[in-house]
């Protein structure tokens, strides 16, 4: 049993032994993105990493060093890439990172990868990179499969109702809002400044994008919905239920792939 679930904390021999035993590799993917005045820029990184550690514990996997930067923040899901602090990759770069890492872990002998996404805008580019790499590996007869997911898709309806009491704004505008702030209050309270939460109405955004962005469409908080109702207890509940649902789904999928 490795001494840590975090790959980068292991020595190479222990890491290789875990891979040889079939440990799946979980790759957390985040962003460096403004999350209002109350949350740190690396919110998406630390949350996907924490979800990854729990998943690793449940499936006997390892958590790879995270992809720290993400694809450009979009106004309708992350406030927009014009905001200071937000530091993003272009699409080609993120595709290349996902593709390269898939090939690297395959070279180490890993067969099962999980991209655990924590930043809304990343998804399609991770998909493209993983698709290119797995297709290429399969042409060479290598059995490598990847699961891609965003963790909030594992929050069930009952939990949404319990936490939002009928006022769920939608995952796209859950940026710096109740979900992320509650999870951060539970996991990393020292990184949260609840006294700085700006309690503004949820963003009213058009059903289309405008480029260059019209900055005034983003609320001055940089958040797309208010974090006022966030709490440590909600964070604990969200983490417990989400990790459980995630572990169930991933183990079921992995079991289908057993030789
Ligand atoms: Zn976020
Ligand atoms: Mn984000």
Task: Grade residue 166 by pLDDT with cuts at 50, 70 and 90.
Answer: confident
The string of DSSP codes covering 18-85 is HHHTT--EEEEE--B--BTTTB-TTHHHHHHHHHHHHHHHHHT-EEPPPB-S-BPP-HHHHS-TTSTT
Ligand in closest contact with the CA of 46: 1
Give dist(CA 220, CA 81) in Å, integer: 14
CA of 173 relative to ligand 1 center, distance in Å? 10
CA of 119 relative to ligand 1 center, distance in Å? 6
Task: Grade residue 2 by pLDDT with cuts at 50, 70 and 90.
Answer: confident
The string of DSSP codes covering 77-115 is HHS-TTSTT-B-B-HHHHHHHHHHHHHHHHHTT--EEEE
CA of 84 relative to ligand 1 center, distance in Å? 15
Map out the domains of the chain as residue ranges: 7-257
pLDDT for the residue 1: 67
Ligand in closest contact with the CA of 123: 2
Strand order in the sheet with 62-63: 62-63, 25-29, 112-117, 145-150
Ligand in closest contact with the CA of 78: 2
| Cβ atoms < 10 Å from Cβ of 204 | 9
CA of 151 relative to ligand 2 center, distance in Å? 12
pLDDT for the residue 172: 81
Ligand in closest contact with the CA of 77: 2
pLDDT at 185 over 90: yes
DSSP 121: G
| Structure confidence by residue, pLDDT tens digits, 9-61 | 999 999 999 999 999 999 999 999 999 999 999 999 999 999 999 999 999 99
Both tokens of residue 183?
A: 């999870």
Overall average pLDDT of the 152-180 stretch: 92
pLDDT at 84 over 70: yes
Query: Judging by DSSP bridges, how do beta strands 145-150 and 62-63 pair with one another?
Result: unpaired
pLDDT for the residue 171: 87
CA of 133 relative to ligand 2 center, distance in Å? 25
Overall average pLDDT of the 88-116 stretch: 98
The CATH architecture assigned to 7-257 reads 3-Layer(aba) Sandwich (3.40)
pLDDT at 101 over 80: yes
- Across the chain, mean pLDDT equals 96
List, by residue number, the catalytic residues. Answer: 33, 35, 44, 119, 121, 175, 180
Query: Judging by DSSP bridges, how do beta strands 145-150 and 25-29 pair with one another?
Result: unpaired
| Structure confidence by residue, pLDDT tens digits, 240-249 | 999 999 999 9
Output the pTM of the full model: 0.96
CA of 174 relative to ligand 2 center, distance in Å? 9
């Amino acid at each position: 049993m490795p001494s840590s679930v975090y790959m980068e904390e292991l020595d190479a021999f222990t890491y290789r032994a875990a891979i040889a035993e079939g440990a799946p590799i979980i790759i957390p993917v985040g962003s460096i993105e403004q999350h209002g005045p109350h949350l740190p820029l690396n919110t998406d990184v630390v949350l996907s990493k924490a979800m990854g550690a729990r998943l690793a514990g449940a499936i006997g996997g390892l958590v790879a060093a995270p992809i720290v930067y993400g694809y450009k923040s979009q106004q309708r899901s992350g406030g927009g890439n014009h905001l200071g602090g937000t530091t993003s990759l272009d699409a080609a770069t993120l595709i290349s990172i996902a593709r390269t890492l898939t090939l690297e872990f395959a070279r180490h002998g890993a067969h099962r990868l999980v991209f655990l996404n924590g930043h809304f805008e990343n998804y399609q580019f991770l998909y493209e990179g993983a698709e290119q790499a797995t297709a290429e590996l399969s042409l060479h007869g290598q059995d490598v499969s990847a699961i891609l997911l965003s963790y909030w898709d594992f929050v069930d309806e009952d939990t949404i109702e319990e936490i939002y009491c009928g006022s769920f704004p939608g995952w796209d505008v859950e940026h710096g809002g109740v979900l992320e702030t509650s999870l951060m209050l539970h996991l990393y309270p020292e990184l949260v400044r609840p006294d700085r939460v700006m309690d503004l109405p949820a963003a009213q955004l058009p059903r289309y994008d405008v480029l260059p962005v019209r900055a005034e469409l983003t609320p001055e908080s940089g958040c797309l919905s208010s974090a006022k109702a966030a709490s440590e207890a909600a964070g604990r509940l969200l983490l417990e239920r989400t990790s459980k649902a995630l572990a169930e789904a991933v183990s079921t999928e992995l079991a289908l792939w057993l030789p």
